Copies of this chain bind each other. A is one copy, B any other.
Amino acid sequence: MTLNTLSAPSNLLDAMNYSLQAGGKRIRPLLLFATLSAFNKNPKLGLPVATAIEMIHTYSLIHDDLPSMDNDDLRRGKPTNHKVYGEALAILAGDALLTYSFQLLAELNDSAITDMIKLKLIQQLAIAAGPEGMVGGQVADMEGENKSLTIHELEYIHERKTGKLLEYSIIAGALLSEATEEQLKILREFSRHLGLAFQIRDDILDIEGTVEEIGKPVGSDITNRKSTYPSVLTLDGAKEKLNYHITRGKELLHEANIQHNYLEQICDLIALRNN
């Protein structure tokens, strides 16, 4: 991480670092590295892109936690950014992380990565994170609060709010590996199943997890009257759907003509995780 070399007000850098270093599963970098491995590439090739993705993910958490949004005081067991630095600085730290992530991609300095691939990485990240992706998903999520959503509406939200950036982590790895169009298509479909599985597991953990495991109050979805997979499909129905997406995802991996073992292990990790 190169943040400390930036010439910027120190409290801005502190606020950016606070949330970047707050831990988390780092599932997105893991997906990127596993995808590079699947193409027999050195995972190191993806390090700056993985950093950019974590910055985007971190910015989205900081903004989502704000009082005018989810109004969360705790994130991963620690006070949220605005609780420590105040609302204004939290908003600006998010803005700075978002902006800097694009700088990192534009400055990719590796002879193995062509300018065309760099531009594609930037374009796809903007699509994944922007109005058609993550931000659009967050807006749809807010609109769905206190409403009974259909399974279709629930999927619309999650495919954008969390799915698009998970998908990007895999697609970025494939772009860096110069995957074929056919492989990209299969991996996008795989990512969709993986992303939905990830969210379903999240919803199940909100019921079955412990506060120590998930780092936030258990049952907050019910308290906040949020539509979830268990609330729409029942808990058993949600588990069945989780199983379906994992199974279908693995099938797709076997069709992509890649070294699929790491990505397959991540499927199991996501299906069984406790945090």
**Partner-B contacts on A (CB < 8 A):** 6-9, 11-13, 16, 59, 63, 66, 68-69, 86-89, 91-92, 94-96, 98-100, 102-103, 105-107, 115-116, 118-120, 122-123, 125-127, 129-132, 135-136, 138-140, 142-143
Main secondary structure of the interface of A (DSSP, over half): helix
3 closest Cβ pairs, A-B complex: A103-B126, A68-B87, A106-B123
**Number of copies of this chain that the complex holds:** 2
Closest residue on chain B to residue A89 by CB atoms: B139
Contact of A99 (CB < 8 Å), options: B68, B92, B135: B135
Contact A136 to B106, CB < 8 A, known contacts A96-B131, A98-B95: no
Contact A115 to B107, CB < 8 A, known contacts A12-B136, A95-B98, A143-B11: no
Flag if B91 contacts A66 (CB, 8 Å). yes
> Given the complex of chains A and B, what is the CA–CA distance between A87 and B94 in angstroms?
15
> Given the complex of chains A and B, what is the CA–CA distance between A115 and B105 in angstroms?
14
**Nearest Cβ on chain B to A183's Cβ, whole angstroms:** 22
List, in ascending order, chain B residues with CB within 8 A of A115's CB. 115-116, 118-119
Flag if A8 contacts B88 (CB, 8 Å). no
> Given the complex of chains A and B, what is the CA–CA distance between A66 and B94 in angstroms?
15
Contact A98 to B100, CB < 8 A, known contacts A6-B131, A132-B6: no
> Given the complex of chains A and B, what is the CA–CA distance between A271 and B68 in angstroms?
40
Flag if B11 contacts A135 (CB, 8 Å). no
Contact of A143 (CB < 8 Å), options: B9, B13, B69, B122: B9
> Given the complex of chains A and B, what is the CA–CA distance between A143 and B8 in angstroms?
13
**Nearest Cβ on chain B to A163's Cβ, whole angstroms:** 14
Contact of A88 (CB < 8 Å), options: B102, B120, B142: B142
